[in-house]
Amino acid sequence: SGESSGDREPGPLSQLQKGNITYALTDLTDTDVEEYYRGFANRVLWPICHYRLDLAEYGRKEMAGYFRVNRFFAHRLAPMIEPDDIIWVHDYHLIPLAAELRQMGLKNRIGFFLHIPWPPADILVTMPVHEEIMRGLSHYDLVGFQTDYDLQNFAGYLKREGIGDDLGNGLFDSHGRIFKAGAYPIGIETAGFAEFAERAANNIMVQKTRRSIEGRDMIIGVDRLDYSKGIIQRLEAFERFLTSNPGYQNKVTYLQVTPKSRSEVPEYEHMQKMVAEQAGRVNGAIGTVDWVPIRYVNRSISRNVLAGLYRLATIGLVTPLRDGMNLV
């Protein structure tokens, strides 16, 4: 639900109807949010899956919270499931959910799609509960990844650890179950977005931006504030480009849109400060009274405005160090 019940146990499920979709919402306690979401999901699984062993912080309490909350979700979901329902589970927060549902006797077909990268065995085994995580994935009937590399890493782990076999044609045998795994890259409706962007050119904010760059070329980057996005490295590269090619100074403006993300996690709070300081340093060192090299926006911008800004830009910078389906 996006809400916390504080120290109290969550109340009953609430339902929200939007169009043809009925949402069932539940609260979590403050402890659940801290251990499950801020703890294990975003301070262990997220950095491990993005190859950042240096940022992973393990804790028994957080690991227990992750599995406990997935068990809680399963118990809330199970009474609503009909025998012929197909269940889709999304992303790293919910890997153990199928195993919990199977434990309760559900035989439904269950699919899982991972939005983020999947690391090779050498990295995954540094996580103390890597076996439990892989066992959890084996309880799905279909496991989807964003890229072939992610799928290869998954299959490589099964082989290296001797816990599964690649049966061919996308089928795997692990922990006594046969299931399918594949790469299913996600894109956008490009034709529809192109039409949307063309209409957005008349947006007032887009028109103001066009006038303010005064005929200069514009580079745009749009990323959630996250260490996996390569934002700091991108700023450094732009600074080096300008110092190495002074003829481009005062001829190009770089707009970086970076909404805040997970500010309650210390690594993200530290990064927010680093990015702001770096943009300010570059502007102070290279900028002039009539030209700011980097325009840094640390908040969300509507999709309509973003579409117009994309169309206005000459170059779009997408430079994640590691990323899955979500490049913003």
Q: Which residues are catalytic?
A: 115, 323
Q: Cα(36)–Cα(120) distance, rounded to whole angstroms? A: 24
Show the DSSP H helices in the chain as ranges.
30-32, 46-49, 60-77, 97-103, 121-124, 130-137, 148-161, 190-200, 204-212, 231-244, 266-286, 303-312
Closest Cα partner for 157 from 179, 177, 172? Answer: 172
Contact indicator for 292, 250 with CB cutoff of 8 Å: no
| DSSP symbols for 200-242 | HTT-HHHHHHHHHTTT-EEEEEE--S-GGG-HHHHHHHHHHHH
Q: Cα(328)–Cα(325) distance, rounded to whole angstroms? A: 9
Q: Which residues contact 31 (CB under 8 A, 6 or more apart)?
A: 7, 65
3-state SS assignment for residue 23: strand
- Which two structure tokens, joined as six digits, stand for 293? 């090299």
- Which residue(s) pair with 140 in the sheet? none
Contact indicator for 72, 36 with CB cutoff of 8 Å: no
The CA-atom distances, in angstroms, between 320 and each of 27, 118, 203 are 33, 15, 29
- Which residue(s) pair with 252 in the sheet? 217
